[in-house]
Amino acid sequence: MFTGLVEVLGRVAGVVKENAGQRLMLAWPGLTGSLAIGESVAVNGCCLTVVASDGEQFEVQAGPETLLRTNLGGKRAGDRVNFERSLRVGDRLGGHFVQGHIDTTAVLRERRSEGEWEFLAFTLDPACTGLLVPKGSIAVDGVSLTLVDVWTDGFSVMLIPHTLAVTTLGLLRPGDRVNIETDILAKHVAKLLGK
């Protein structure tokens, strides 16, 4: 379980193909102490297990399902990624409940400045937009955000300067793909209602 509050803007150090999956070598700048083997880390919002760790460097494996549903399969050495460690009992929950289970990807279709803020609009599969509501929560590349507008084929968000500076969202250009996790509460309500 995560909060969607990114801890650091990290980097892909390398990618190695492993049968139908991939091993990602990742760099966490400023990490004090190594991550534990078996620990969960959200990488662009996708919950992955640490399989090797040495100082600021660690490795995770992404299987075929992860590569199919996320933007991680397109990452190359040098690309920036968001990192967040899993919640511990007693931690503050400053964002919203994020599982790290990516539903799909969306594509940035518009970006414009509004003062110091940035307006971002994304195209999203209409099968997922039924789980979104204006002023509701969404995780975009693992960043907990508040929805502004919701359309049948997409949604928009407004980003403050801090979010732009410390996450991958500040680097996005139209056409870029992002990982999307809809709100877990919306998923359960939809299932209970048979939608």
The Cα 191–Cα 195 span in angstroms is: 6
Look at the domain 104-192 and name its fold: Elongation Factor Tu (Ef-tu); domain 3 (2.40.30)
pLDDT, average across residues 102-125: 96
Instruction: Give the global pTM.
Output: 0.93
Please write the tens of the pLDDT for every residue from 126-154: 999 999 999 999 999 999 999 999 999 99
**pLDDT value of residue 24:** 98
Q: What are phi and psi of 158, to 5 degrees?
A: -120, 135
Q: How confident is the model at residue 194 (pLDDT cuts 50, 70, 90)?
A: confident
The domain spans of the chain are 8-85, 104-192
Q: Return the number of other C-beta atoms located less than 10 Å from residue 68's C-beta.
A: 13
Q: How confident is the model at residue 195 (pLDDT cuts 50, 70, 90)?
A: low
Q: Cα separations (Å) of 58 from 75, 169, 176, 179?
A: 16, 23, 25, 21
Contact 41, 83 (CB under 8 A): yes
In CATH, what is the architecture of 8-85? Beta Barrel (2.40)
Higher-confidence position of 88 and 86: 86
Please write the tens of the pLDDT for every residue from 37-84: 999 999 999 999 999 999 999 999 999 999 999 999 999 999 999 999
